[in-house]
Structure 1
Amino acid sequence: MPTWLVISIVAVVFALLAAWVVRRLLDTQIGWIRAGVTALVVFVLALPIADWSLQQADVIVDGRIVVDDLIAVSFLALTFGWMFAAVVICIITLEFLWPSQGFRNPITTVRDLIRRRDRARRYAQILAIGSRHGLGLYESRRKGATDDLPAALVGAMNDAGVTFVKLGQVLSTRDDVLPPDILAAFATLQMDSTPIAWAEAEAAITAQLGRPIAEVFGEIDPVPLAAASVAQVHAARLVSGEDVVVKIQRPSARAQVTTDLDILGRLAGEAERRTTWAREYGATALAAEFSRALREELDYRSEARNTEMLRAAIEKAPSVLRVPRVYVEFSTEQMLVQERATGTPFSRLDGSALDPDLGAALADSVLAAVFDQIAVRGVFHADLHPGNLILSDPADGAATVTLIDFGAVGIIEKSMRRMLVPLLIAIMNEDDVAATDLALLMCGESPSLDKVALQRDIGVILTRMTYSGSHQDIFALFLDALRRHRMALPPSLLLVFRTLGSLEGTLRKLSPRYDMVGAALELAPKVAFGAVSGRSAMLGAQTWAAVLTEQFRRMPRRIESVTRSLEQGDLSVRLRTFESTDERSWIDSLLGRMTTTLVGIALVITGILLTVNGAGPMLTTNVSVYEFLGSIVGLGGLLLLLRSLRTSFRRRSSSR
């Protein structure tokens, strides 16, 4: 048989065997192709070195392999062992530099390719829209290209679609972040987005009803009352005579939102990796919360449930606010039929044109009603931007404010409500000790928390508020103090403060200089007294009496158990550290890896010293016993070191 054919067969067998052993040894998703090709390349590159070493060991003589004794077999096995170690080292290096991905699900691969295509197409659309409105990099440098920046931003957001209009809605009440001209422009995004054609809206309504429109609506206005970020609203009248509005979702809203939210999440993650401010503000978490809220807003069945829940809460305490009725029998996931609310949205009000006393009184009434929802009822409208409040016309009698768009409704549990009002009272009273203690009860505390420093920061904020005469940023400053001390803020508390922040900008549509935070702090004691009822106090006392009674009943048995253990001398104290089997196994494996690594290093060093020494009796003409033993010991140490890397590969594989 020709020599080249023998070498080829040996190379293929070695590559397959080495690939199988490496995949089993490293216990990770290393592909057969990668392992086999690497082993084959290593074999070819190491072949000249192996040929030279086997000639020195008299295993290859005159081009022929001579295996006639145990020593020759040992040299041959040792050579293949080192070649195998070289294969493992090369594969480990490749895994660290270029981790294996394994074979992906074809469906997942196709879906990811489609999403990547949609993202690329959406990026191109956004850039084209921005350029068309004078917001491109080149246009922004041209003189006069962006003189009317607010109008350009609004036009671009309207054309960009649902997600960008919603972002504008969220930003339209942040007068602490954006200048007034941009805020005023963003306010028009609340209900003034670009409408879809009636033919498209009519087809969508018919599809949601599952029957002809005439069977449900006696008439419907093809011109929309408003075009919101996700849907547009048409005035209609049921065949039974009630005036209603039909909120129909844009047919392309869901697909566009899915792509935009994917882009937003990726941009937030990239911002956190590259910038400090994004990490401090938790850009990824904020993007995730925005995505969740927007996806929930696309399901009008959830909005219908929220509407009825909030309407029931408001009916228990009549106020200036009202919630329109939902016709559930005609509402679906993408269409909502609701009682029609007449009047002027707050986004179109000019506070300077209203009577100052009337505007302030109406703002007080709205604040009191919202405060009652938050602090007493525990159910509140969580998206109080100016487009979601409608002021009734004066001809309708007493002024009322109708809430609309219930895609976001907050719920705050009673235990949190019991502490929220006292917190506001403590802030109003400049009681930094009580405010700090309440914050700790609401947020919890970590072992590393410096309570003295936290109380000092809160005290400074309250003192500045008292003598500056301005309460405008008190909630933001309070939250910043909690964040600086790394306190876990409850989501319900964050939602309350965010809602109050939105409401402040909304109420200034009625009274431009309205101090909402100051009014809320003054209102807190009244709400605290009103929230206490004899029936509630009696039920609470009864509940806690039952809990304490049950605990006292169990106390004698526990005392007896402790005293018996003391008397018998077998009282024990259990430490939780390293108590579980998993914790002990982790310690054992860590010590085992450390021991294996140290032994491997010692063997490699010993093998190098023996090989370099070269002394001792000669096994062959050119190889001594020490050199042979050094090669074996060094190979054994190297294999032990490679074995210690197995756990790290397992961890990387499981985390992917």
Structure 2
Amino acid sequence: MPFSRKKIDYQRLKEIVHLLAKYQFDNLVGELELKGSRWGDLLYKYDSDLDLDSTAPERLRMVFEELGPTFIKLGQMMSTRADLVGPEMADEFTKLQDDTSPFDFDTVKVIVEGELGKPLDQLFQSFEEEHLAAASIGQVHRAVLPDGTLVAIKVQRPGIQDMVEKDLVIMHHLADMVHTKIPSLQVFNVPEIVDEFEKSIHKEMDYGLEARNTQNFQANFANDEGIRSPTVFPDYSTAMVLTMEFIRGTKMSQVMENPEGFDNKLLAERVAKSYFQQLLVDGFFHADPHPGNLYVLEDNVVCYIDFGMMGHIDHDFMQNLGELFVQVIDYKVDAIINQLIYMGIINDSVDRTILKRDIMDILDRYYGASLSDIHLGHILSELALPLITKYQARVPPEFTLIARAVSLIEEVAYSLDGEFDTTAQFKPMVKKLLLQKFNPKNMADVFKDNMFELEHLVKNLPQNINRLVAKIENGEIKVRYTEELSEDIERTSNKLVVSIIIAALLLGSSWIIQINTGPMIWGMPILGFLGFAASGVLGVGLIIYILRYRKI
């Protein structure tokens, strides 16, 4: 059901309006033209007795804190989207604390037994009544499985889903009103923020999804002895109860404060390398890798926890992101602009001269700086903000999420090792990633995915040429025929024939490689390999021919 048709909880709305008045946001409701409406009048019946000297972001953060779990989560999400809300508000929302009063053990017992279908004493050897941590979505208890395994059990807060849904209805309603009635705030695209938040919080409330995320992460690092994640126990987990291995270790935040007894250089390398693997190899990354979500175990093993929010990017985005990383570090401004256009972030009609100057201003702050002063995540964030505000760029949410996450990882790495070199960690990964572009099997996959488009192109080419010739003959297109034009047409025809042959060879070779039978060479069918080799030779020859006869 669309949110516009869902019933608004006016009692909750009254609470929100009162808090807006309390923290001196009565002008906001005034601009929304709510005075005289059923719930707008509530604002004018409430007088704030607070003498506030705080900035608007500070006051809004206070409003969110008093409104509770859903709004605290919204603020935390906004703290990761400086591209949408601006750096000042994003920085302020990082101060939001998710400390919530715990719910009683009797409620915990009812939820766990109801979800797992057995009495607590039949499920566990022991189950501690005292909680380990309490947050807005749920709280954690320690228990022991029948086989003696110590586990941490996350139990979802009762009624949280209903509360979130009611607040989402109000958020969508207010966001649409803000966007349509206050032009000065349209730049923030508040409805988009709420839409993104809705997806985010629904994922976070699904413990089944978090369990699968944890298992997928664990599979990606199965062969890396330096990186771990908690083991999930599916038989003791549901959408509202998540049972995981209890991690015995030291929080990374504590290691950063007191690094004695740890191999700091090794930890910095493992943290950075593991994260760049998530971004550039796996395409599946932890969306909030702050020091509180990282533990250090014995032998300097790094353990990631809390997989409620994960980012996912496809292979093309990984390659594009890797190329952009290298171009930023190498200070290749023109290449950065081309890459941003290719990624669809900015329009190719942009004034390149002005954009180039803006990017150079950002990079100049870091050029020639020491390794400890070059933060790739900060550079990416600073690139994103002016692009959006000045050039109406379409920055993907993943981009700003990655920029923030890389900043967090770099801060951890540099705190552990002041001489840490970011480029030494990710450049080999980028090189490997880019080489995969030209791997015959990868090229075969590309042609396989696009074979129908290629077949249509080749099939329709003669008809398209005939239509073009017909238009010329009918006078719809006027062409001044010269001997030079004749030579150009002949050369173009030759290049077109060679291009069709190359396309046919690539398409056929792709099919042969996919079949994966017959005599093999370097793990590929020899006929497929020869087809790729032949198309490569013809392609090089065609390029040489084009360069040789192009007009100066």
TM-score of the aligned structures, taking structure 1 as reference length: 0.58
The aligned residue for residue 215 of structure 1 is 122
Residues in 2 aligned to 1:109 and 1:284: alpha-carbon distance in whole angstroms: 13
| 1:455 is the counterpart of 2:362 | no
The aligned residue for residue 330 of structure 2 is 429
> What SS class does the counterpart of residue 390 from structure 1 fall into?
strand
Q: Quick one: which of 195, 207, 228 aligns to 1:322?
A: 228
The aligned residue for residue 344 of structure 2 is 443
CA contact (8 A) 1:217 1:237 kept: yes
- Deviation at residue 249 of structure 1 after TM alignment: 0.3
- Deviation at residue 526 of structure 1 after TM alignment: 2.0
The residue correspondences of 1:351-362 to structure 2 (distance < 5 A) are 351-355=256-260, 358-359=263-264, 361-362=266-267
The aligned residue for residue 401 of structure 1 is 302
Relative to structure 1, is the Cα distance of residues 177 and 522 closer, same or farther in structure 2, using a 3 angstrom cutoff? Answer: farther
The residue correspondences of 1:77-476 to structure 2 (distance < 5 A) are 112=7, 115-121=9-15, 140-141=50-51, 160-167=67-74, 169-170=76-77, 177=88, 186=96, 189=97, 192-273=99-180, 278-316=185-223, 318=224, 320-346=226-252, 349=254, 351-355=256-260, 358-359=263-264, 361-392=266-297, 397-443=298-344, 445-446=346-347, 448-467=349-368, 470-472=373-375, 473-476=378-381
> What SS class does the counterpart of residue 479 from structure 1 fall into?
helix
After superposition, what is the alpha-carbon deviation per residue over 1:610-647, rounded to whole angstroms, capped at 9, x for unaligned?
xxxxxxxxxxxxxxxxxxxxxxxxxxxxxxxxxxxxxx
After superposition, what is the alpha-carbon deviation per residue over 1:583-602, rounded to whole angstroms, capped at 9, x for unaligned?
xxxxxxxxxxxxxxxxxxxx
Relative to structure 1, is the Cα distance of residues 293 and 139 closer, same or farther in structure 2, using a 3 angstrom cutoff? Answer: same
Relative to structure 1, is the Cα distance of residues 223 and 123 closer, same or farther in structure 2, using a 3 angstrom cutoff? Answer: farther
Residues in 2 aligned to 1:352 and 1:420: alpha-carbon distance in whole angstroms: 32
- Deviation at residue 354 of structure 1 after TM alignment: 2.6
CA contact (8 A) 1:313 1:379 kept: no
- Deviation at residue 523 of structure 1 after TM alignment: 2.9
After superposition, what is the alpha-carbon deviation per residue over 1:312-355, rounded to whole angstroms, capped at 9, x for unaligned?
11225x16331112112221111111111122334x52734335
Q: Which amino acid aligns with 1:511?
A: S
The aligned residue for residue 529 of structure 1 is 431
- Deviation at residue 302 of structure 1 after TM alignment: 1.5
The residue correspondences of 1:458-497 to structure 2 (distance < 5 A) are 458-467=359-368, 470-472=373-375, 473-483=378-388, 484-497=390-403
The aligned residue for residue 405 of structure 2 is 499
Pair member with larger Rg: 1
- Deviation at residue 157 of structure 1 after TM alignment: 6.8
Q: Which amino acid aligns with 2:295?
A: I
> What SS class does the counterpart of residue 394 from structure 2 fall into?
coil
The aligned residue for residue 440 of structure 2 is 538
> What SS class does the counterpart of residue 367 from structure 2 fall into?
helix
Relative to structure 1, is the Cα distance of residues 463 and 307 closer, same or farther in structure 2, using a 3 angstrom cutoff? Answer: same
Residues in 2 aligned to 1:415 and 1:497: alpha-carbon distance in whole angstroms: 18
TM-score of the aligned structures, taking structure 2 as reference length: 0.67
Residues in 2 aligned to 1:521 and 1:206: alpha-carbon distance in whole angstroms: 50
Residues in 2 aligned to 1:464 and 1:376: alpha-carbon distance in whole angstroms: 30
CA contact (8 A) 2:267 2:302 kept: no
Relative to structure 1, is the Cα distance of residues 428 and 239 closer, same or farther in structure 2, using a 3 angstrom cutoff? Answer: same
Relative to structure 1, is the Cα distance of residues 548 and 138 closer, same or farther in structure 2, using a 3 angstrom cutoff? Answer: closer
> What SS class does the counterpart of residue 144 from structure 2 fall into?
strand
Relative to structure 1, is the Cα distance of residues 381 and 515 closer, same or farther in structure 2, using a 3 angstrom cutoff? Answer: farther
The aligned residue for residue 463 of structure 2 is 561
Unaligned runs of 5+ in 1: 1-104, 131-135, 576-656
- Deviation at residue 537 of structure 1 after TM alignment: 1.7
Residues in 2 aligned to 1:200 and 1:522: alpha-carbon distance in whole angstroms: 51
Residues in 2 aligned to 1:549 and 1:156: alpha-carbon distance in whole angstroms: 55
CA RMSD of aligned residues (A): 4.5
Q: Which amino acid aligns with 1:391?
A: V
CA contact (8 A) 2:220 2:282 kept: yes
- Deviation at residue 253 of structure 1 after TM alignment: 1.2
Q: Which amino acid aligns with 1:401?
A: V
Residues in 1 aligned to 2:452 and 2:472: alpha-carbon distance in whole angstroms: 28
> What SS class does the counterpart of residue 221 from structure 2 fall into?
helix
- Deviation at residue 277 of structure 1 after TM alignment: 6.0
Relative to structure 1, is the Cα distance of residues 454 and 558 closer, same or farther in structure 2, using a 3 angstrom cutoff? Answer: same
Residues in 1 aligned to 2:356 and 2:136: alpha-carbon distance in whole angstroms: 43
After superposition, what is the alpha-carbon deviation per residue over 1:366-415, rounded to whole angstroms, capped at 9, x for unaligned?
121111111111111112233322233xxxx3122322221111111111
Residues in 2 aligned to 1:573 and 1:323: alpha-carbon distance in whole angstroms: 71
Residues in 1 aligned to 2:365 and 2:153: alpha-carbon distance in whole angstroms: 49
CA contact (8 A) 1:165 1:193 kept: no
Residues in 2 aligned to 1:140 and 1:241: alpha-carbon distance in whole angstroms: 54
CA contact (8 A) 1:375 1:421 kept: yes
Residues in 1 aligned to 2:115 and 2:451: alpha-carbon distance in whole angstroms: 57
The aligned residue for residue 29 of structure 1 is none
After superposition, what is the alpha-carbon deviation per residue over 1:151-179, rounded to whole angstroms, capped at 9, x for unaligned?
x9999977753224435655778996479
Residues in 2 aligned to 1:571 and 1:492: alpha-carbon distance in whole angstroms: 52
- Deviation at residue 223 of structure 1 after TM alignment: 0.7
Unaligned runs of 5+ in 2: 25-45, 478-552
Relative to structure 1, is the Cα distance of residues 177 and 362 closer, same or farther in structure 2, using a 3 angstrom cutoff? Answer: farther
Relative to structure 1, is the Cα distance of residues 343 and 557 closer, same or farther in structure 2, using a 3 angstrom cutoff? Answer: closer
CA contact (8 A) 1:424 1:521 kept: no
Residues in 1 aligned to 2:404 and 2:369: alpha-carbon distance in whole angstroms: 23
Relative to structure 1, is the Cα distance of residues 448 and 280 closer, same or farther in structure 2, using a 3 angstrom cutoff? Answer: same
Relative to structure 1, is the Cα distance of residues 546 and 204 closer, same or farther in structure 2, using a 3 angstrom cutoff? Answer: closer
- Deviation at residue 183 of structure 1 after TM alignment: 8.3
Q: Which amino acid aligns with 1:117?
A: Q
Q: Which amino acid aligns with 1:374?
A: L
> What SS class does the counterpart of residue 289 from structure 2 fall into?
coil
> What SS class does the counterpart of residue 244 from structure 1 fall into?
strand
